[in-house]
Amino acid sequence: MVLETSSPSKTDLRGSKTIKATLLQIGNAVDGAKLVVSTMTEAEHLADLLQNLSARGRSPNVLYGVPLAPSQIHRLAMLRNKIGPHSVSVLVDNSSQLGSAHIFKQATGVALQVFVKVDLGYHRAGLDYTSKAFDSLIKDIIFNEEHGSATLIGFYTHAGHSYGGESDIAAVRLLMEEIKGLYKAAIRVRPRDHARGQSQPRYILSVGATPTATSVQSFLP
C-alpha cells in the first residue's frame, strides 16, 4: 500500500461563496486546485471557473464535503462532465450512499471517486475504522469497484472538536491523531487489497479542521 505523502491543501469554500474569494484562496500553485463544498449550488456557481482552470492544466477537483445524498448524483455527473477528468469526488459513510454510483458511471463513463469519512472523535459523521459498519462499507465499495461504478481513493476526517482546544500544542496533538487514525484505517483495508491482487494501491489521507491544519504554522520560524 502506498499513501499520498505530499500535503496539498484543499480550499474550503463553505465560507467564501464567491469566485473572487476562491481565486484568492487557491492562488497560483501548479499542483492543482482542490476545493471542498457542502452544497451543489456552491460547486455549480464555480463551474465556469473550474472549467477554465482545467483548460489551463490546473487539474481542479471538487470534493462534495458532506456524505453523498442520492438526489445529488445527476448534478455531480453534469459537473464532472463540464470540468473534466478526475474533477469530482465524494464522501461516504454509509453503504446506501453508494446506491447511485452506477448512475454516475452511466452519465460520465467513469467510476465515482470515493473518500470514506472516518470518525476520530467528533461523533458528528463518519465511521469508527474498527467498527463492523466500516468493514461492511469497505466491502460494498469493493463490490462497486469490481463492477466499475466506484473507486476508493482515500480516507477523510475532520476534527471539529479541535475548535474547542486551548493551545496550538493541543491542536498539533489532534492533528497527529487524525493522521495516525486515517493511516490505521488504510492499513485495515490492506488485506482486502492483497486478496484482489492489488499489492500497492495509493490512498489519499485527507485531514485537518482549521485549528489542526494550521497548528504547525505556530512552530515554524
Q: What are 22-54's pLDDT values in tens digits?
A: 777 776 655 667 888 889 998 998 899 889 888
pLDDT digits (tens, 9 = 90+) for 101-152: 999 999 999 999 999 999 987 777 799 999 999 999 999 999 999 999 999 9
The CATH architecture annotation of domain 2-219 reads Alpha-Beta Barrel (3.20)
Confidence bin at 6 (pLDDT 50/70/90): very low
Confidence bin at 78 (pLDDT 50/70/90): very high
> What does the DSSP 8-state code read for residue 152?
E
Q: For the chain, which residues make up each domain, given as ranges?
A: 2-219
Question: CA 88 to CA 29: how far, in whole Å?
Answer: 19
Report whether pLDDT(176) > 80. Answer: yes
Strands, DSSP E only, in 52-159? 61-67, 88-92, 112-117, 150-156
Whole-model pTM: value is: 0.83
What is the distance between the terminal CA atoms of the chain, rounded to a whole angstrom? 34
Helix (H, G, I), strand (E, B) or coil at 50: helix
pLDDT digits (tens, 9 = 90+) for 189-207: 877 766 666 666 688 998 8
Residue 4: predicted pLDDT:
46
